[in-house]
Amino acid sequence: MDIHDGKLVKFWTDIWHPIGRLIEIVGDRGRLKLGITTSACIADVLVENEWRFRRTRDTTVQNMIVKVQELGVVLETNVQDEVLWKRKDDEYGREFSAAATWEQIRCKRPVVVWSKLIWFAQGVPRYAFITWLAVKDRLSTGSKMPAWGQVQCCVFCGEPDETRNHLFFACPYSYTLWLQVIGTLLRPPPSPDWNDIVARIMARSVRSLQSILLRLAFQVSIYYLWKERNERRHGQPAKPVAQSAKFIEKTIRQRIMSTKYYEKQKLKGLMQCWFSARQP
């Protein structure tokens, strides 16, 4: 291990601005051509301020060598070797950070427009996960069953094509339940169309209390509808809309309580907003 300017520098895998990771430029083939081990540090390759590269005719490797030599790296002597955790591309530290490490290894993609519909501070992972599957249309609904040689009708209304859009919320059972749960949070009331509902929720400022409640209601409703659908499929007694709605409303109230909204400036009025949406 080497320390250069207080940082641990591994020859192949650390980022060399502006070159990038050396191993990604020449690959393992290039590494073998240069005769440098995967775990080599700078001190193994830069000895007495001279780079020890094996000769090669490979022009990509040659170009890389030229760039490396141009960097003008000078090793500090009298500095103890030390293992450091990489936090950012150009930042190292002694303490391990799970979050920073995850940022280093995860595959990053552009943020999807519906991300706030799934992930927000007042959400609950269990409900968010099922909602995420629903948004991606990955729930194993009846419409996906023919591929498995089965046909599954909607257990709520008997509709032969049980699609995601039917379950949420085109089905009369789901739509009646959904309208009851959201009360007057969306005015005029949304159509039963999935895309329309998602668009209406996303059109709200995500910081508004109504938006928090709508997203919570959306997730809890999807979760319990999916649960009810699975329970009925497995022979459990059917719950009428009113009973399911009561259960969902109770779950949302409990979640509102657990946010300790009354202690937070931004959430004050959350419970009041919820109750005022269900005034007759």
**Residue range at the interface with Zn ion (CB under 5 A); choices 86-94, 98-106, 167-175, 250-258:** 167-175
Q: Binding pattern to Zn ion, positions 122-161, x when CB under 5 A? A: --------------------------------x-xx-x--
* Cβ-based nearer residue to Zn ion, 159 or 249: 159
Phi, psi for 41 (deg, rounded to 5): -105, 175
Instruction: Find the shortest distance in angstroms from Cβ 159 to Zn ion.
Output: 4
For the record, the structure tokens of 48 come out as: 């007495």
State how far the Cα of 267 lies from the Cα of 251, in Å rounded to an integer: 18
Q: Indicate left, alpha or beta for 7 from its phi (over 0: left) and psi (-120 to 50: alpha).
A: beta
Instruction: Find the shortest distance in angstroms from Cβ 242 to Zn ion.
Output: 17
The CA angle 238-242-243, to the nearest 5 degrees, is: 55
**Residue range at the interface with Zn ion (CB under 5 A); choices 71-79, 119-127, 132-140, 163-171:** 163-171
* Cβ-based nearer residue to Zn ion, 113 or 157: 157
What Cα–Cα distance (Å) separates residue 186 from each residue in 28, 199, 211, 252?
A: 58, 12, 10, 17
For the record, the structure tokens of 280 come out as: 């007759």
> Is-contact 2 43, C-beta < 8 A?
yes
* Cβ-based nearer residue to Zn ion, 108 or 234: 234
86, β-bridge pairs:
92
Judged by CB under 5 A, which of 171, 185, 213, 245 binds Zn ion? 171
Instruction: Find the shortest distance in angstroms from Cβ 103 to Zn ion.
Output: 43
Instruction: Find the shortest distance in angstroms from Cβ 199 to Zn ion.
Output: 22
* Residues of the shown chain interacting with Zn ion in the complex, contacts defined by CB under 5 A: 154, 156-157, 159, 171
